[in-house]
Amino acid sequence: MNLGNIPGYYWDEDKKKYFKITADHAVESRQKYTKSNVRHEKQVAKKRKIEQRDQEKRQAQTIKRSRLLSLPEYAGVGLHREMGGRSLALDGVQADDAFVSQLRYQDMYVSDNPVLNVHASPSSNQTIVTDARNALSLVYGVPGNIYHSQNAEWPTPPDAFHLVQNIYTGFEGLATSTSVWPAHDPRKLLACGSASSDNVFIASFADADYVSQPNVKLSIGNDETTLWDSAISSTGDTAAIAGSDRVIYLSMDGRILDRLPGAAKSRSLSWLTPTTLAASSGKAALLWDTRARGSSARFKCPHNITGVRSVPSSNGTQLLLSTNYGLSLHDLRMSPSGGPSSATSKPLLSFPIVHEGTQLVFDVSSRDLVAYSQKNVRRDDVRVLSLRTGRAVKTLDRSEYVRKRPTQLAWREDERGVEFLLSCIGERVGKWCWKDDE
């Protein structure tokens, strides 16, 4: 029975009764169920139902923050439960401690020049190297896999240029960012530099890709433009570059597709999904769906953001943000605390980390381990945190000769699926891994 459609009567949902509708001129103005008052009541009830339905949808799509997360001594357990972990948090603590405790540093290569980053491509049996020499940065390929070639003898350009001709370029000044796709066995590369012209270089590693998509050099910005960070999307067809002007969205053939409005002076970015990008803009993290115009300032930090990383195990729902005073974990499924006008966003988890510079060198592994560098007296230590347990795990041991600041920290997997931490520190390329007996 439709309770609201009996002619001449009105169903009051609050009192659960029918009331006869009286003409306006036949009763006093204070009478509740006059014809005009009933019309108004129906409009209010309809609006209330719409608001209630919208509220139920929001509640179904968000996660309520557990009170347990507000207690520091129980943060690890609470975070583990909040993220839907199936095993006990204690198991996660023991597993992280056991894995990290066995990591040992090995020198893979010592160069004559500072090495900015390296990317090994096992399918093509070569390693892509970016280094700096005499106010010039070079990106070139050399034979062999650096991950399994301890103390390898690498040829240097122009010898490397003759060996792998289609992966070689130079930047005037410093190469500021190098991104590859995919990370475990790169086939495409995007490099950015500080030169005023030809400051972006796109290359393909495989011969088949090189025929269909030749190398591209292009210029973005002007003499005052600085390109801070870059990232290729998970599809390998598009990429994004963060710079002093704004975030630029482009295809891998060098066509600029769009520019992110409101993202001036962006120093870091990360892909959440193949079409959703997270980028820093001052003290805010912007989310951008590349299929539509506009962006959303989803998270706000008390200080300028120096790093943005998507957590691999979260399937694009969690974001790790760094400032000069800390590292914080945020979940996109949670409602912003304090509303849109709130000065800061409350994170799931935070670590007090003080570091210098405009960018923090760090990376997140598939098992939720975070490796980052932090200055300690005269050298920069490499430390490991666990997002599963909410605690610091260990400061990694390394050679006494390794004292400079890392320019790359990257979690990688060997052919057996065992993770190791790749590093570029000064003129050295090394890795922290379980003891390699091969």
Ramachandran angles phi, psi of 209, nearest 5°: -70, -35
Whole-angstrom Cα distance, residue 124 to residue 128? 11
Q: CATH code at 392?
A: 2.130.10.10
For the chain, what is the mean pLDDT?
80
pLDDT at 259 > cutoff 50:
yes
Whole-angstrom Cα distance, residue 204 to residue 160? 16
> What's the confidence (pLDDT) of residue 148?
67
- Assessment of whether the complete model's pTM goes beyond 0.85: no
Q: What mean pLDDT comes out for the span 40-51?
A: 83
> What's the confidence (pLDDT) of residue 18?
78
Share of the chain above pLDDT 70, in %: 79
Same domain, 48 and 109: no
Same domain, 141 and 191: yes
Same domain, 110 and 227: yes
Q: Which of 7-11, 219-223, 337-341 has the lowest mean pLDDT?
A: 337-341
71 lies in some domain? no
Pair 433, 104: CB distance under 8 Å: yes
Residue finishing a domain among 61, 80, 106: 61
Same domain, 34 and 104: no
Only one residue has tokens 């940065």, namely: 137
Same domain, 47 and 178: no
Q: Which of 96-100, 220-224, 261-265, 296-300 has the lowest mean pLDDT?
A: 261-265
4 lies in some domain? no
Beta strand segments in 92-251, E: 104-110, 115-121, 126-133, 136-143, 168-172, 175-181, 188-193, 200-204, 216-218, 227-232, 238-243, 247-251
Same domain, 35 and 149: no
pLDDT per residue as tens digits for the range 302-333: 999 999 999 999 999 999 999 999 999 999 88
pLDDT at 71 > cutoff 60:
no
Whole-angstrom Cα distance, residue 79 to residue 334? 13
Same domain, 37 and 151: no
> What's the confidence (pLDDT) of residue 151?
52
Same domain, 288 and 233: yes
- The DSSP call for residue 156 is -
pLDDT at 351 > cutoff 50:
yes
> What's the confidence (pLDDT) of residue 110?
81
Only one residue has tokens 């005073």, namely: 325
**Into how many domains does the chain fold?**
2
> What's the confidence (pLDDT) of residue 74?
44
pLDDT at 85 > cutoff 90:
no
Rg of the chain on CA atoms, in Å: 28
Same domain, 55 and 102: no
Give the residue, 64 or 183, on which the prediction is more confident: 183
> What's the confidence (pLDDT) of residue 2?
44
> What's the confidence (pLDDT) of residue 156?
56
> What's the confidence (pLDDT) of residue 102?
85
426 lies in some domain? yes
Q: Give the distance, in angstroms, between the CA of residue 97 and the centroid of all CA atoms in the same chain.
A: 25
Q: Give the distance, in angstroms, between the CA of residue 301 and the centroid of all CA atoms in the same chain.
A: 15
Long-range contacts (CB closer than 8 Å, 24 or more residues apart) made by 341-349: 342/300, 343/300, 343/302, 344/300, 344/301, 344/302, 345/298, 345/299, 345/300, 345/301, 346/65, 347/321, 348/65, 348/69, 348/79, 348/82, 348/318, 349/69, 349/75, 349/79, 349/387, 349/390
Q: What mean pLDDT comes out for the span 119-131?
A: 84
pLDDT at 241 > cutoff 80:
yes
Instruction: Please name the helix (run of DSSP H) or strand (run of DSSP E) that holds residue 331, with its range, or none.
Output: strand 326-331
Q: Sign of dihedral through CA atoms 290, 293, 299, 303?
A: positive
8 lies in some domain? no
Q: What mean pLDDT comes out for the span 20-44?
A: 69
Same domain, 107 and 214: yes
Contacting residues for 262 by C-beta, under 8 A, at least 6 apart: 246, 281, 286, 295, 297
16 lies in some domain? no
366 lies in some domain? yes
Instruction: Give me 438's structure tokens.
Output: 């091969």
Q: Sign of dihedral through CA atoms 415, 417, 422, 428?
A: negative
Residue finishing a domain among 61, 82, 104: 61
pLDDT per residue as tens digits for the range 353-411: 988 888 899 999 998 999 999 876 667 889 999 998 888 999 998 777 777 889 999 99
By residue range, what is the domain housing residue 33? 29-61
Instruction: Give me 240's structure tokens.
Output: 């994004």
342 lies in some domain? yes
Instruction: Please name the helix (run of DSSP H) or strand (run of DSSP E) that holds residue 235, with its range, or none.
Output: none
Pair 115, 429: CB distance under 8 Å: yes
> What's the confidence (pLDDT) of residue 376?
67
Same domain, 270 and 327: yes
159 lies in some domain? yes
Which one, of 251, 245, 201, lies nearest residue 227 by Cα?
Answer: 245
Same domain, 40 and 108: no
Residue finishing a domain among 61, 84, 116: 61
Q: How sure is the predictor about 238, in pLDDT bands with cuts at 50, 70 and 90?
A: very high
Angle, vertex CA 203, rays to CA 201 and CA 206, nearest 5: 170
